[in-house]
Amino acid sequence: MPPRKIIIDTDPGQDDAVAILLALASPEDIEVLGITAVAGNVPLELTQKNARVVCELAGKTDVPVFAGCDRPMGRQLVTAEHVHGKTGLDGPSLPNPVMPLQDQHAVDFIIDTLRREDSGTVTLCVLGPLTNIATAFEKAPDVIERVQQIILMGGAYFEVGNITPTAEFNIYVDPEAAEITFKSGVDIVVLPLDVTHKALVTQPRNDAFRDLDTPSGIAVAQMTDFFERFDKEKYGSSGAPLHDPCVTAYLIAPELFSGRHINVEIETQSDLTRGMTVADWWGVTDRPANATFIGDLDADGFFALLVERIGRL
Ligand code: BDR
Ligand code: CA
């Protein structure tokens, strides 16, 4: 099978960085057409910079990086420095990027790419709030039917929420964008907290990255060292959940994951439950299925894949 053509839409973020490294290390499976940055974990000025920092860490400076929307569609931006640090990539000390940021707006890059490539051949891998994606769909509705698949990290059912008691961060930041995306009719795969909280970087897994003894391996170990403090304190878990790499790992090895094809709606009205993913896991409504909602993964297989691939960089 030829590699899947993807656009990575992202708000790096240490876990976004690991997801990007996995994609860039896997050319036989994935062709990264471009990386589009969005405001999320930290403001856009930092996420677009961090995306370039990660490309340079991987030695892939020919991947075009675009800056997109600097705020949600209809709300103030909420950021997560309390998790990711001031830069969004706290942990390792990485040089400022020298590779250029593309002039084109990320939304226009998404639209042009979907129009240029054969219909049904481009997958959108979304690691942050869905602002760029929904803005592209609003601006150019003709591209919606051309998307092969959207694979996104966001939402939760059993784990409910991380930024509020009922909402996961990516969906919470821009629930209107999430609603547009989930109602678009595109084939969607969701990697919610239910699965990412099972992808924990325990000490032996952190050691395996560090023992690669390469710039990327050491940086991944330092990044997870940094942001595990937050989750350890909050959840008492044995390490940091690698949320976003579940997206790129799903592309490469979907057999590591399992879930259900169900209906998922987004709460946009209530102040109390804003951004909740109302997932009909138990099939108690007759609302039509619109997403494959992943619930479980083979965590050892996932980390073996990550270490093997990142070891190539
Ligand atoms: C998601 O929010 C961000 O903090 C992470 O990068 C991930 O995409 C987890 O809720
Ligand atoms: Ca992210």
Judged by its nearest atom, the ligand closest to the C-alpha of residue 197 is 1
Domain boundaries, the chain: 4-310
Whether pLDDT at 117 is above 70: yes
Is the CB–ligand 1 distance for residue 170 below 6 Å? yes
Q: Read off the pLDDT of residues 196-231 as tens digits, 9 standing for 90 and up.
A: 999 999 999 999 999 999 999 999 999 998 877 666
Is the CB–ligand 1 distance for residue 231 below 6 Å? no
3-state secondary structure of 180: helix
Give the start-end residues of each E strand in the chain.
4-10, 30-37, 65-67, 122-126, 147-153, 188-191, 200-201, 240-241, 257-262, 264-266, 277-279, 291-297
Residue given tokens 């799903």 in the structure block: 250
Q: Read off the pLDDT of residues 77-88 as tens digits, 9 standing for 90 and up.
A: 999 998 889 999
Whether pLDDT at 233 is above 80: no
Find the catalytic residue in 84, 105, 197, 243.
243
Is the CB–ligand 1 distance for residue 16 below 6 Å? yes
B/e letters for 96-133, b = 16+ CB within 10 Å, e = fewer, are: ebeeeeeeebbbebbbebbeeeeeeebbbbbbbbbbbb
Q: Kindly state which CATH superfamily the domain 4-310 is placed in.
A: Ribonucleoside hydrolase-like (3.90.245.10)
Q: Say whether 243 is catalytic.
A: yes
Q: Can you give the pTM of this predicted structure?
A: 0.96
